[in-house]
Structures are given as C-alpha cells and as structure tokens.
Structure 1
Amino acid sequence: MTDRMPPVLGTLESALYADDLDAALGFWRDVMGLTPLQAVPGRHVFFRVSRSQVLLVFNPAAASRPPAPGTRLPVPPHGARGPGHFCLAVAADLLDAWRGHLTAQGIPIEADFRWPNGARSIYVRDPAGNSIELADPAIWD
C-alpha cells in the first residue's frame, strides 16, 4: 500500500443556487453567453462553460430534497441559501469589452479593480444575487 495521494484533474462542475430558474437561464444564456446543456423545470438548468467545465444552477428547494427510493440517479441532497460566488476566467485584454457588454445589458458593475499583482477583476450580480466575477487568470499568479 502507498501513502501517495491520487491526482485531481481539475474542476469539472460548480454549482450556484437560484429560486428563479427562468431568470437564471436568461442571464447565463443571453447575458453571459453560456450554452444550456440540460434543464429540468423547477429543479435545475446546466450550462457548458468550456469543453470540460459545467455550471450547475439548482433551485435550492428542489435540490435539498433527498432522492426518491429506488431512483436511477440517487444524487445526495445539497443546496445553499444566500449569495454564492462564481468566477469566470477572461483574457485580460477582453475585460473592457466585457464591462461594455454587461453595461449595455443593464447589468450594474459592482466592483472593477486590480489586485496587488496587477491582474483585474470585474464583479456583477446574477438575478439570484450571486456574486459573479470575471477575472484575468493572472490573479492567481
């Protein structure tokens, strides 16, 4: 037996919670440009972020219920209340274009600043009140 920890490939999916899935669909599809992958009315809507990354948006009331006995996909209950956070990596030279796009869509910019290393982040809120960050990936360099 070895004490070596197996490697992780990366983040596959991230979840946010929204009571109004129609508003979430409109925001993530029409404002942020993500492609919807799957939706179950009243329960969830999922979006493709990149080839190997997915954003899951759940209705917390539905996702927090335990699966029915004998269900084919017995996903354990989960959920959160209150605003969460989700950050999208954006090329540094496109952050001004994103700021202009969001402003043109009527999305207020909550914050726009540079981190101590010079990398920039822009923050907005989705319709559920989640904090959405668009950031130069260099914030973590």
Structure 2
Amino acid sequence: MTAPEQLASVRYLVDDVTAAVDFYTVHLGFTVHTNAAPAFADVVRGPLRLLLSGPTSSGARATPAEDTAPGRNRIHLVVGDLDAEIGRLHAAGLSFRSDVVAGPGGRQILLTDPAGNLIELFEPRRG
C-alpha cells in the first residue's frame, strides 16, 4: 500500500457508508483503509484515498446543504479494457450515467456510486 503521506485524498458525501464501501471494493478494486460506518470509511486504490463521509460525519456537516448535490466533478480511474469493464459492471447490475465517449486521448464512460457521485472509467488511446 502507498504510504499515507503519498496518498491523494478525495471526499465523497454518501448516504450509506456501508453501501459505498461495498461498491468501491467489490466493483472497482479499492481496499478498505478505515471503516467507521455508519459515519465514515476510507478506501484506497493505488495513490487515491477516497473518503466516504456519511450524513453523521464531520465532513458532511461542514458542507452547506445547498452544495451537497453531486455535480460534474468525479474521480478518474484508468482501465485497460473499457468494454470488458462495462460488461463486468453491467453483469453486476450497475448502470451507467453516460454512453461511451471517444476523444483524442481515449474512451470514457461515467457511472455513479450508490449516492450519485460520478466515477469516470477511462481507457487511454493506444499507439
């Protein structure tokens, strides 16, 4: 595991910490770092530490109510085979927020966690 001082942390406000932990560990390859559900947990994938703050966490209380709706910000996870990941996640019953979009750097698709936070799966262009 990456040393704590080398982790980049992102906070997501979630409705259900346990559901969020399950989502990120089962479907996206994160591992549990701390689990203090129902208030808080953090999961790690490489140098990314994702802070999952439930409604009773201090992180959630510090945010004004009008700013808690998920927006366009998202974590960006690089995958080797986007089509295989889409198939795997569809088979697990997950739904996507967008269709596959291709651009100059590669292909991407958006899905949401149980609280509506966005995750971008990105396959870089080869060659």
What TM-score bracket applies, with the shorter chain setting the length? 0.7 to 0.9
Inter-CA distance 65–99: structure 2 relative to 1 (3 Å threshold): closer
Structure-1 residue corresponding to 2:45: 49
TM-score in terms of structure 1 length:
0.70
Gaps of 5+ in 2: 1-5
Q: Which runs of 5+ in 1 are unaligned?
A: 1-9, 67-76
Larger RCO (CA under 8 A, 6+ residues apart)? 2
Q: State how 1:21-36 maps to structure 2 within 5 Å.
A: 21-36=17-32
2:57 is paired with a residue whose SS is helix
Higher strand share: 2
Give, in angstroms, the shift of residue 65 of structure 1: 7.1
TM-score, normalised with respect to structure 2: 0.77
Alpha-carbon offset, residue 133 of structure 1? 0.8
> What is the CA RMSD across the aligned residues, in angstroms?
2.5
Q: Tell me, in whole angstroms, the C-alpha distance in 1 between the residues paired with 2:60 and 2:86.
A: 38
Q: How many residues align?
A: 116
User: Which residue type is aligned with residue 29 of structure 2?
Assistant: G
Runs of 4+ in 1 over 4 A off after TM superposition: 77-80
Partner of 2:3: none
Displacement of 1:26 in angstroms is: 1.3
> Displacement, 1:122?
1.2
Write out per-residue CA displacement over residues 71-101 of structure 1, whole angstroms, 9 at most, x where no aligned residue.
xxxxxx458511152221223xx11111111
Q: Aligned ranges for residues 1-141 of structure 1 at < 5 Å?
A: 12-50=8-46, 52-64=47-59, 77=62, 81-84=68-71, 85-91=74-80, 94-111=81-98, 112-115=100-103, 117-137=104-124
